[in-house]
């Protein structure tokens, strides 16, 4: 009889996280205190929506680094979903890490942006307000149609949608896009509910996603115009899915260059240049890992230029 593999435990998960950052497991264990949302400028302006929310009893907390996003205590999330601006699709609940990542990508009014793994579509909606045109790609059929409905309800008219496998987009669209965003499918460690114990997480799952992510990042880079920029992001902590994937791209493409990500946040950690027995390029220190705190969830971001 074949010997069964040892099942991953919560202690295994904790050990990995603390090797990345000694405070990470503790931070992930703490109850979420706040949540964030952004104003859908395709439907309304910031001032009018904030006024409506205040009339309905909310006191949204403004942010210094962006004027379209706000924060509220987590206890008010259910009430916000019942508010008139939410019902009118004038606001979109979205994590601050995700909002920051989308705005970290350089996008101008004349650009054509590719969002390579786009569902549920929150970042594509941000790009729709900044770019000339957005192509949103999603392989999963049910998620694709939910995303398409989301765009329609949000009145985002400059988004094209494609129910395609992102790994092969570059074959049809080589060097076509001015900017590319890839929030890659991942092991979603940042959304792990520690109170429920180990359920879907395992090192095997990490390696499975890392293989997919390497294919996707190649497709993203090949689809990007020379002189353009792209973002690679995940909502997981695993270096195998983050730094190792970006390092793989840098090795394969000498014309790929990591760019620094400007920010003033304290709940961040620069990218690792080594993990366990593997060493990465020193350039990986330019990448950024958000640590879960306040309205921020765990998130990894790498900004890449194509020279």
Is there a domain that residue 38 lies in?
no
Read off the pLDDT of residues 225-259 as tens digits, 9 standing for 90 and up: 999 999 999 999 999 999 999 999 999 999 999 99
Give the CATH number, domain containing residue 111. Answer: 3.40.50.150
Is there a domain that residue 224 lies in?
yes
pLDDT of 3 strictly over 80: no
Mean pLDDT score, 179-183 = 98
pLDDT of 204 strictly over 80: yes
* Percent over 70 (pLDDT), the chain: 98
Would you state the pLDDT for residue 158?
97
Is there a domain that residue 73 lies in?
no
Catalytic residues: 235
Cβ proximity of 111 and 132 under 8 Å: yes
Domain count, the chain: 1
DSSP 5: P
Read off the pLDDT of residues 68-104 as tens digits, 9 standing for 90 and up: 999 999 999 999 999 999 999 999 999 999 999 999 9
Is there a domain that residue 82 lies in?
no
Q: How confident is the model at residue 4 (pLDDT cuts 50, 70, 90)?
A: very low
78, exposed or middle or buried, with CB in 10 Å at 0-12, 13-18, 19+?
A: exposed
Read off the pLDDT of residues 208-226 as tens digits, 9 standing for 90 and up: 999 999 999 999 999 999 9
Residue 294: which region, alpha, beta or left (left: phi > 0; alpha: psi -120 to 50)? Answer: left
Is there a domain that residue 74 lies in?
no
Q: By residue range, what is the domain housing residue 240?
A: 10-30+96-306
* Percent over 90 (pLDDT), the chain: 93
Is there a domain that residue 75 lies in?
no
pLDDT of 45 strictly over 50: yes
Residue 2 CB coordination number (10 Å):
4
Is there a domain that residue 77 lies in?
no
Q: How far apart are CA 297 and CA 307, in angstroms?
A: 32
Is there a domain that residue 168 lies in?
yes
């Amino acid at each position: 009889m074949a010997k069964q593999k040892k099942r991953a435990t919560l202690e295994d998960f904790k050990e990995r996280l603390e090797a990345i950052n000694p405070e990470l497991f503790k931070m992930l264990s703490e109850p979420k205190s706040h949540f964030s949302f952004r104003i859908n400028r395709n439907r309304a302006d910031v001032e009018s929506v904030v006024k409506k929310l205040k009339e309905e009893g909310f006191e949204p907390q403004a942010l210094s680094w962006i004027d379209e996003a706000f924060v509220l205590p987590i206890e008010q999330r259910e009430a916000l979903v019942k508010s008139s601006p939410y019902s009118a699709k004038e606001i979109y609940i979205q994590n601050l890490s995700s909002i920051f990542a989308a705005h970290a990508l350089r996008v101008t009014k004349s650009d054509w942006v590719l969002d390579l793994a786009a569902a549920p579509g929150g970042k594509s909606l941000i790009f729709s307000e900044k770019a000339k045109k957005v192509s949103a790609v999603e392989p999963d059929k049910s998620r694709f149609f939910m995303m398409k409905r989301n765009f329609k309800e949000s009145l985002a008219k400059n988004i094209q949608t494609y129910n395609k496998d992102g790994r092969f987009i570059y074959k049809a669209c080589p060097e076509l896009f001015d900017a590319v965003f890839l929030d890659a499918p991942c092991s979603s460690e940042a959304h792990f509910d520690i109170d429920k114990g180990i359920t879907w997480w395992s090192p095997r799952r990490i390696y499975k996603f890392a293989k997919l992510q390497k294919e996707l990042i190649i497709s993203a880079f090949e689809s990007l115009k020379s002189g353009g920029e792209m973002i690679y992001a995940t909502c997981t902590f695993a270096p195998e899915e983050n730094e190792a994937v970006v390092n793989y791209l840098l090795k394969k493409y000498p014309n790929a260059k990591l760019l620094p990500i400007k920010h003033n946040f304290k709940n961040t950690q620069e990218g690792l240049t080594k993990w366990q027995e593997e060493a990465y390029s020193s350039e990986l220190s330019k990448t950024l890992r958000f640590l879960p705190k306040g309205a921020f969830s765990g998130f990894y971001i790498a900004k890449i230029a194509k020279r």
